[in-house]
Structure formats: structure tokens, C-alpha cells
Structure 1
Amino acid sequence: MNHIILASHGHMAKGIKDTLNMIIGNAEGVKAFSSYRDEDENIREAVEREVKNNYETKDIYILTDIFGGSVNNELISLLKEYPNIHIISGMNLPLVISIATCDDISEKLLEEFIKESRESIVNCNNLLKNLNNEGGEDL
């Protein structure tokens, strides 16, 4: 399994990790870090420590909640020191599952995972409306 670091505002990262464990089983290579919670330490320091401890093993994928947000901005600076890590913003469960369940991820495959995760966001109201307009059956 790839080493994955989930980092978010609040408890989003921990929630995604919990759900991932329910779906694929114990995801030992996945760590979750929350920012701006009273009990949490500085997220950059915690993530950097995790990167240092695992940098020589497999690729490290850092997924953050929102591009341009403070968590993402703090962690992007790690790319200067650790050029072989991958930082992806806008994490969602389909993206995390794809990365967690694939052993050898090329840049092309990573871009495909990102594309698929975007496509997993669907306005079901419009989907149903379009099906009804086309004479399709209800969902």
C-alpha cells in the first residue's frame, strides 16, 4: 500500500480515514491529520515528521481538503525539501480509495484517479431530471 497522508481543517481527514477502513479494511499506510483543533499540534510539523519517517520507503501522497486553504498552503512548502512527494488538493473518498488500493501509480494514472474523483461528484437531482426527460425509468 502507498503511504497516504490526509490533512484537513477540522476532522474531515480523520472521518475519511475511518470510512476508508470500513470499505477496504485496515489501511495501515494511511495517516490522518487535523488542523485548527485545540488538541492538535501544528499540522506542518506533524506531516513533515511523518514524511521524514517514511520518505525512503514508498511514494508518499499527501491529500488536502481545499486548494489555496491554509492546510494546503502550509504543506506545499514541503515539496521544496521532498520533491518525490505528491500533494493533491480537493480530496474525496473515491480518490483516497483509488490511491490506497493501487500499488504502482504513474503520473498518468494519478491524473486519471483525479479525473475519476471529479466525475464522482454528481448532482442527482439533475441526473434524475435528465433521465425523466429522456423517457428513462426512475432511479
Structure 2
Amino acid sequence: MEIVLASHSNLAVGMKETAEFIMGRQEKLHVIAAYIEDEKSVVDELTELVSQFGNEAVLFLTDLKGGSVNRIISEYILEREDYYLISGMNLALVLELLMLSYEGQRSEVMAQLKEIVVNASKDLEVIDVDELSVQADEDF
């Protein structure tokens, strides 16, 4: 499965660079950095990129649910059986998705993706640095 990170500006570029820093070059990881080039629309970038994939399944990760990039991709993938979309990408999610092999029917892939999203969101936490310093003091 091809994986496309799509964001406003360069967030997706940084996410890809960081994922490849950790995991090495990823042939199936691609980027759409929207609104960087004035003469190129997001739809044009999307169409150009996806045309390179042939009949390969595609997983899109967008930066913001309801944002323009997410809405454009949502409309683009309508009625395409082997296209998937996750919004709210983060590095933990990208890394886990890169380690996965995608096999089975659409319902099986969707279940797998939903489980990964839940796992990736478990690491979201507010950390009170004041409590960390108190804990560190107590440990010594």
C-alpha cells in the first residue's frame, strides 16, 4: 500500500523526513505539501501523485480533520474501494503504519487501521513538568 502524508505547508515533509530518519528510506511513503506552490492546486498535486500508483491501494494521512486538505482528499477518494483516509496524523501513527502489511478485504484493513489509530492516540498526554521535577527529587 502506498502511504501519502498530506498537510498544509511543510508538516508532511517534516513528518516524512523524521520517519525516514528513524526507519530508513521508505519507497512507499509520499508527501503532498499543500499551498506551497501558488501555481499548483492540491487537486493537481493529488492527481499527479496518485497517477503514479497504478492499481495500488493508497492510505492518505492528513493533518487536520475538516481542513481543506482533508476535505479535498475526502472528495477525491469517494467510491474508490482501495483508498483509505486517516486525519490527525502524528509521528507514532506514521511509524506504526509503515511497519504494517495491508492484506485482506476492505473491512479487515479498516479494522486494522482503526486499531492502529487507537494505539497511536494512547501516547497523547499532558505532562506537567512541575510534577516531573517533584518526582525526580523524590527519586534521589
**Alignment TM-score, normalising by the size of structure 2:** 0.82
Structure 2 distance, partners of 1:137, 1:114, is 34
Question: How many residues matched?
Answer: 132
- The 5 A counterparts of 1:1-139 are 2-38=1-37, 41-57=40-56, 59-104=57-102, 106-125=109-128, 128=131, 132=135, 137=139
Structure 2 distance, partners of 1:15, 1:39, is 20
Q: Where does the alignment leave 5 or more consecutive residues of structure 2 unmatched?
A: 104-108
- The C-alpha deviation readout for 1:74-103, integer Å capped at 9, x for no partner, is 111112252320011101111111111111
Question: Do the aligned residues in 2 keep the contact of 1:61 with 1:87 (CA within 8 Å)?
Answer: yes
Instruction: Return closer, same or farther for 1:112/1:26 CA change in 2, 3 Å cut-off.
Output: same
Percent identity over the alignment is 25
The structural deviation recorded for 1:51 is 2.0
Instruction: Return closer, same or farther for 1:74/1:128 CA change in 2, 3 Å cut-off.
Output: same
The structural deviation recorded for 1:128 is 4.3
Structure 1 distance, partners of 2:70, 2:14, is 18
Q: List, as ranges, runs of 4+ consecutive aligned residues in structure 1 with deviation greater than 6 Å.
A: none
Structure 1 distance, partners of 2:10, 2:119, is 24
Q: Where does the alignment leave 5 or more consecutive residues of structure 1 unmatched?
A: none
The structural deviation recorded for 1:119 is 1.2
Structure 1 distance, partners of 2:47, 2:79, is 10
**Alignment TM-score, normalising by the size of structure 1:** 0.82
The code of the aligned residue for 1:125 comes to D
